[in-house]
């Protein structure tokens, strides 16, 4: 350990990953669709940073907005004071969101946004005189954050193992369309049948105890799990029938990743609450938001006044003026460059080209939606080994992507050209063919 380079003994990125500590891969700069290492070698960004940067890196407009705002007013607490940028951004987001979601609470990270959505759900039911509704349903193999509530909500058992069970009352639906169990795509009844796993949990725990059902429309970071037709519709139907709030965690799906502003619009299913983060500022400044309807907002806020039990929310950084400036400049880029439409137009080419890799012996499954896709590799030995080996090899060959277990996840910036897709596929083809 003493020989660890670059002081990584002092700074532990994410988990203390031994491989990273022994040989950290350092990016030195980034521009448009590339990262660069210290020697100036270009590395194509196949995952938009970490699903954060659809408009590409180093955007002048965002940098300028951040710089101007820092000089104009660097901080303003959101509790008793406000600034115009937070109202302007809320209005801008309301314009992108599906009706009737038109109010936003600001937070700092995706995990904070999910935690806030959970608080809003509980407060909403309490205000409606249903205080027993405090449980949450999410899904196996889901990821919703790394704070305690996000870790509890996530369906990643390994992530929870070190912490016991400090946030109780979370139960998980089966994620039954994993490739090994997948049924025929496109059959309307199949998705609905799979969603009936929610019914199983309702029967087991009682609808009167459940506050919300939280799902990521396309589960992104856990392997790009695309819901079968009818699945999200059926969840909506069941939640409505049983008085359970439906929360879409759109921390990855939001801002054009699935072809529309939000996946709610791509799938034509409107949840009660949407969480968003990452691409809200094109990844430039930490920020997140939670969108709710007028009805939920009024219920939660008015009850605070009526009951004298205040809805407690707010972080020092909620609606930070610099983050708002970055987010507004980002939304301008998305609109001016019609980036969501651009991603929607590129998606068929991206997905078709990916499917040309299906004949390689290492490939077990390819799936995707919009501008996010996963290539699952046949596991070999310890699960996850080959995914990480592939990721490492591709970094050396000049492609940055995210790997989870044995799945390589691709979520390129929406500024990608067809030539970038071709280059990415070429690198993937060579790397998959070389995988032993």
Q: Give the nearer residue to ligand PMP in terms of CB position, either 386 or 402.
A: 402
Please, which residues have CB within 8 angstroms of residue 149's CB and are 6 or more apart in sequence?
A: 111, 114, 115, 118, 167
Residue 24: C-alpha distances to residues 13, 187, 193, 404 (Å): 10, 46, 45, 18
Least spacing, CB of residue 249 vs ligand PMP, in Å = 4
Token pair for 324: 């708002």
Least spacing, CB of residue 133 vs ligand PMP, in Å = 22
Distance CA(409)–CA(424), nearest Å, equals: 12
Query: Are the C-beta atoms of 273 and 292 separated by less than 8 Å?
Result: yes
Q: Give the nearer residue to ligand PMP in terms of CB position, either 353 or 374.
A: 374
Least spacing, CB of residue 50 vs ligand PMP, in Å = 7
Q: Give the nearer residue to ligand PMP in terms of CB position, either 4 or 146.
A: 146
Q: Give the nearer residue to ligand PMP in terms of CB position, either 280 or 421.
A: 280
Distance CA(274)–CA(136), nearest Å, equals: 15
Q: Give the nearer residue to ligand PMP in terms of CB position, either 96 or 202.
A: 96
> 345-378 burial string, b = 16+ CB within 10 Å, else e?
ebbeebbebbbebeebebbebbbbbbbbbbbbbe
Least spacing, CB of residue 28 vs ligand PMP, in Å = 23
Least spacing, CB of residue 265 vs ligand PMP, in Å = 17
Q: Give the nearer residue to ligand PMP in terms of CB position, either 224 or 299.
A: 224
Q: Give the nearer residue to ligand PMP in terms of CB position, either 148 or 301.
A: 148
Distance CA(164)–CA(157), nearest Å, equals: 10
Q: Give the nearer residue to ligand PMP in terms of CB position, either 153 or 194.
A: 153
Q: In this chain, which residue has its C-beta nearest to ligand PMP?
A: 110
Least spacing, CB of residue 349 vs ligand PMP, in Å = 25
Q: Give the nearer residue to ligand PMP in terms of CB position, either 114 or 274.
A: 114
Least spacing, CB of residue 109 vs ligand PMP, in Å = 4
What is the phi/psi pair of residue 292, to 5°?
-135, 170
- Could you write out the DSSP letters of every residue in 247-304? EEE-TTTTTTTTSSSSHHHHHT---SEEEE-GGGGTTSS--EEEEEEHHHHHHHHHHH
CA proximity to 224, closest of 369, 388, 386 = 369
CA proximity to 340, closest of 264, 240, 413 = 413
Least spacing, CB of residue 146 vs ligand PMP, in Å = 6
Least spacing, CB of residue 147 vs ligand PMP, in Å = 7
Q: Give the nearer residue to ligand PMP in terms of CB position, either 93 or 431.
A: 93
Please, which residues have CB within 8 angstroms of residue 363's CB and are 6 or more apart in sequence?
A: 357, 375, 376, 377, 378, 432
The β-bridge partners of 219 are 225
Least spacing, CB of residue 222 vs ligand PMP, in Å = 8
CA proximity to 137, closest of 245, 299, 21 = 245
> 312-328 burial string, b = 16+ CB within 10 Å, else e?
ebeeebbbbbbbbbbbb
Which residues in this chain contact ligand PMP in the complex, by CB under 6 A?
Answer: 109-111, 114, 143-146, 216, 220-221, 249, 251-252, 277
What is the phi/psi pair of residue 287, to 5°?
-165, 150
């Amino acid at each position: 350990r003493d020989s660890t380079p670059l002081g990584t003994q002092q700074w532990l990125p994410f988990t203390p990953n031994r491989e990273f500590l022994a040989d950290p891969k350092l990016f030195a700069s980034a521009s448009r669709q590339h990262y660069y290492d210290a020697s100036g070698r270009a590395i194509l960004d196949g995952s938009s940073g970490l699903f954060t940067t659809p408009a590409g890196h180093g955007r002048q407009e965002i940098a300028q907005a951040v710089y101007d705002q820092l000089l104009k007013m660097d901080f303003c607490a959101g509790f008793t004071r406000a600034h115009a940028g937070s109202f302007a951004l809320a209005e801008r987001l309301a314009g992108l969101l599906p009706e009737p979601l038109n109010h936003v609470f600001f937070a700092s990270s995706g995990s904070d946004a999910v935690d806030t959505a959970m608080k809003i759900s509980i407060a909403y039911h309490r205000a409606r005189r249903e205080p027993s509704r405090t449980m949450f349903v999410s899904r196996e193999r889901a990821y919703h954050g790394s704070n305690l509530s996000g870790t509890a909500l996530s369906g990643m058992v390994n992530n929870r193992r070190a912490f016991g069970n400090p946030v109780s009352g979370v139960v998980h639906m089966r994620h039954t369309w994993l490739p090994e169990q997948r049924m025929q795509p496109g059959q309307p009844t199949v998705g609905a049948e799979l969603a009936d796993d929610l019914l199983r949990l309702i029967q087991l725990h009682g609808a009167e105890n459940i506050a919300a059902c939280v799902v990521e429309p396309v589960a992104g970071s856990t392997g790009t799990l695309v819901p079968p037709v009818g699945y999200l519709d059926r969840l909506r139907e069941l939640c409505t029938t049983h008085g359970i709030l439906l929360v879409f965690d759109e921390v990855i799906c939001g801002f054009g990743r699935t072809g529309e502003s939000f996946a709610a619009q791509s799938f034509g299913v409107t949840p009660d609450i949407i969480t968003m983060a990452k691409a809200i500022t094109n990844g430039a400044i930490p920020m997140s938001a939670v969108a709710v309807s007028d009805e939920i907002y009024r219920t939660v806020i008015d009850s605070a006044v009526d009951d004298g039990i205040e809805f407690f929310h707010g972080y020092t950084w909620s609606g930070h003026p610099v983050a708002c400036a970055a987010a507004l400049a980002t939304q301008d880029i998305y609109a001016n460059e019609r980036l969501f439409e651009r991603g929607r137009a590129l998606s068929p080419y991206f997905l078709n080209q990916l499917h040309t890799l299906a004949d390689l012996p290492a490939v077990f499954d390819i799936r995707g939606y919009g501008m996010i896709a996963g290539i699952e590799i046949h596991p070999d030995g310890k699960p996850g080994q080959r995914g990480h080996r592939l990721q490492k090899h591709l970094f050396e060959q000049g492609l940055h992507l995210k790997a989870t277990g044995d799945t390589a996840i691709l979520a390129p910036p929406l500024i990608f050209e067809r030539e970038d897709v071709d280059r990415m596929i070429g690198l993937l083809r060579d790397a998959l063919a070389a995988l032993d």
